Amino acid sequence: MQEQFYDRTRYEVSDAVRERHQAAAETVVSRERYGHLIDGEWIDAAAGEDGVAIDATTGAELATVQSGTPEDVDRAVEAARATVEGSWGQLTPGQRADRLGEIADRLADRTTEIAKLDSLETGKPNLHALFVDCEVLVEQFRHFAALARSTDDGRVVPTGDEKRVFTHREPYGVVGAISAWNFPAMFVAWKLGPALAAGNAVVFKPSERATLSSLAVARICDRVLPPGTVNVVTGTGDAVGEAMTSHEDIDKLSLTGSRAAGVATLENAAQTITPTSLELGGKSPNIVFPDADLEQAIEGTLVSIFFNSGQQCTAGSRLYLHEDIAAEFIERLRDAIDSLTVGDPLAPTTDIGPMIDHAHRERVREYVETAVAEGATVAAGRTDMVKGELEGAPFVRPTVLTDVGDDDRIGCEEVFGPVLSVFEWRDREDVLRRANDTSYGLAAGVWTEDLRTAHEFAAELEAGTVWINTYNDLFDPAPHGGYKESGTGRELAEEALAEYSQVKTVKVNLGGVPKMG
């Protein structure tokens, strides 16, 4: 039986596009049918069912992948437990660092292949996949290789002469990691880098919508690490995700996904009191002051909302423009949008690729139509489909909406597409209140030449990351994570090691034992 993870059809694109994508796929898709990666082997699902990896641009089938079951999760957890208690668990921090460094070197040699897989399966522009996603992918493994070797293992607690007290960090053991489809290869490093550096073994579930690059990265890891250190079970959230988040023998959970997925994870993890880290959605404010460098602010706005076709949790989807510059800013922003290339993600000049699929395209479209019905004005975009050879692919053109109310649906909910809502402001305290008036708190942007204002706003904004005169800069190894309903925990930096390890306190008595009375 062949199970499709969601409804798909071959899209009506030109023969030239279809042939170009087929030729690209033949160079990077290494097998027609992928199994789960468990204990160093490609293994069939217990129920014998398949899912499908689909080209986001053409709708063509790239390969079949396993549709996993709870039994498959059990096998993966068993393999992870054995290796963390055996070969992997016996390595020193320095030895773990060497392995992570070797993984980084091998990945660096394969970035062209990995980027192409992501462009095919997600519609991500290849230029971005190669020089953003894959750069972060490799750097994360290098960063955590260094941290594995150099991070303090614990501390000595000051005491009197008759006691010695110290702490020690230990791995949890088996980590269950669940990832999203918008940055599939990069998110593998976000999870595996710190988890492995801390000494854990991992059971990894990629999104059913984007699987192939995750499998490619995991296979490279598996060739360097003891079998069973990294295991991958592919399939749906209802089957594999549910089994992982409620598994009694998984010691730590980490998820990147939607708010709904985060809530489901917490509910399941609560039954076993399993520690959980979450990186969820966002509705991030991007605030432009009247003294801002408009050229830089406009370029930063493009990056904030249209990078990855808007399919990003950090998207600066709420743009707050001071009323003195709003009209000029919107006019110049419209011109900048016109210069963007919407097209084939494999083309080197493409800035905006298709949505992940037609179902998601319709979801984004529905948000725009609802906003217009509620009174919003389309200042740019709204012509969803591209013409010519890509006409049948699931594109949404960059769209800018003005006259949006703070309480309108599109002003409150995460759209996850290239749709920007514009708000005007006059009073500083008022715009700060409006920017914070959201259940999310993943990121925020501030554009001003006044550093006092910038620092004041950064201190008051309720967001895990605040960018000043830039946006979406995640290249530096600084902690990343959310406030409020955008999640818990941190990734990308040294703070992530704390998410994948637990502290043991050891107290040594060198004197007499206290008496009862």
Is the CA virtual torsion 325, 326, 328, 333 positive or negative?
positive
Of 83, 155, 80, 97, the residue nearest 504 (C-alpha): 155
Q: Which residue has the tokens 């399919």?
A: 311
Q: Choosing from 139, 279, 414, 494, which is the catalytic residue?
A: 279
Output the 3-class SS for 149-214.
HHCCCCCEECCCCCEEEEEEEEECCEEEEECCCCCHHHHHHHHHHHHHHCCCEEEEECCCCCCHHH
Q: Please, are residues 461 and 438 in contact by the beta-carbon 8 Å criterion?
A: no
Residue 49: count other Cβ atoms within 10 Å of its Cβ.
17
The total number of residues written for the chain in this structure:
517
- Catalytic residue flag (residue 113): no
Phi, psi of 392 (to 5 degrees): -90, 0
Output the 3-class SS for 438-495.
CCCCCEEEEECCCHHHHHHHHHHCCCCEEEECCCCCCCCCCCECCCHHHEECCECCHH
What tokens does 137 get? 């992918």
Residues belonging to the active site? 279
